[in-house]
């Protein structure tokens, strides 16, 4: 099986690679369109700011490549947000795979932003959550989130309910960091690779 991690100007994705190493999966880290298209599984990780990242994806044409992929694609963190329609982070038009807008957590809810740490997810409706205990804890670091919508397959609560995971056709996404989310995160990665 060929797994590709999409290479772009994201921040550090080293932990994603180590997480795949731990479950014994081999992968290619590349931005080459032919390599991406020929992969069995594609991981689109994300660490960074939405508009800079989206501009880069446009510059190299990945903004067209990613939505046209037919194999299972898994976006995480900012990767998930860029798969949505729009992000309030610097008013960024995103790839629009999921027709939902990413919004900043309200400042007036009396909660700290970013939402940082371990929180539980629930209402699973995804093959990626198979085998997870109810209310599994996963690790989040983010200031923007997609509200619960028709593509939500796991939700989380911080100030208000939001989408912890999204799914539409061959596109899967998680707002949290699977790679450092303990055994739960590892299970989700394994489930994705088994699709």
Partner 1 sequence: MLTKRIIPCLDVKDGRTVKGVNFVNLRDAGDAVELGALYAAQGADELVYLDITATVDGRSTFIDLVRRVAQTINIPFTVGGGISSIADVSALLHAGADKVSINSAAVRHPDLINELSLEFGSQCIVVAIDTRYIETANGHEHIVHTHGGRKATEIRSIPWAKEVEDRGAGEILLTSMDTDGTKAGFALELTATISGNANIPVIASGGAGSVEHFYDVFTAGKADAGLAASIFHFREIDIPDLKEYLKNKDLPIRMTR
Binding site residues, partner 1, CB under 8 A: 11-12, 14-15, 18-19, 21-22, 47-49, 111-120, 137, 139, 141, 157-158, 177, 179-183, 185-186
Q: Between 12 and 38, whose beta carbon lies closer to partner 1?
A: 12
Rounded to the nearest angstrom, the gap between the alpha carbon of residue 118 and the centroid of all alpha carbons in its chain is: 16
Nearest to 7 by CA among 38, 55, 53, 44: 44
Residues identified as active-site: 77, 177, 179
Q: Between 69 and 156, whose beta carbon lies closer to partner 1?
A: 156
Calculate Rg over the CA atoms of the chain. 15
Q: Between 33 and 157, whose beta carbon lies closer to partner 1?
A: 157
**Helix 182-194 and helix 14-22: axis angle, to 10°?**
80
Angle at 147 between CA 93 and CA 123, to 5 degrees: 135
Q: Between 9 and 38, whose beta carbon lies closer to partner 1?
A: 9
CB of 14 to partner 1, least distance (A): 5
Q: How far apart are CA 45 and CA 79, in angstroms?
A: 5
CB of 61 to partner 1, least distance (A): 25
**Residues 177/77, Cβ–Cβ less than 8 Å:** yes
Q: Between 15 and 71, whose beta carbon lies closer to partner 1?
A: 15
- Specify which residues 167 forms β-bridges with: 172
């Amino acid at each position: 099986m060929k797994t590709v991690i999409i290479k772009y100007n994201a921040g550090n994705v080293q932990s994603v690679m180590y997480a795949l190493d731990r479950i014994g999966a081999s992968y290619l880290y590349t931005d080459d369109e032919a390599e991406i298209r020929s992969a069995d599984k594609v991981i689109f990780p994300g660490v960074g700011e939405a508009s800079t990242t989206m501009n880069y994806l446009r510059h190299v044409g990945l903004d067209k490549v990613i939505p046209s992929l037919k194999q299972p694609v898994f976006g995480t963190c900012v990767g998930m947000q860029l798969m949505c329609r729009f992000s309030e982070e610097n008013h960024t038009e995103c790839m629009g795979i999921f027709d939902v807008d990413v919004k900043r957590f309200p400042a007036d809810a009396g909660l700290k932003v970013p939402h940082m740490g371990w929180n539980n997810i629930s209402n699973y409706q995804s093959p990626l959550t198979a085998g997870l205990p109810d209310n599994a804890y996963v690790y989040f670091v983010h200031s923007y989130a997609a509200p619960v919508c028709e593509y939500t397959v796991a939700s989380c609560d911080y100030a208000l309910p939001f989408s912890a995971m999204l799914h539409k056709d061959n596109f899967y996404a998680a707002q949290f960091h699977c790679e450092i989310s303990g055994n739960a995160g590892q299970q989700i990665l394994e489930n994705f690779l088994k699709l």
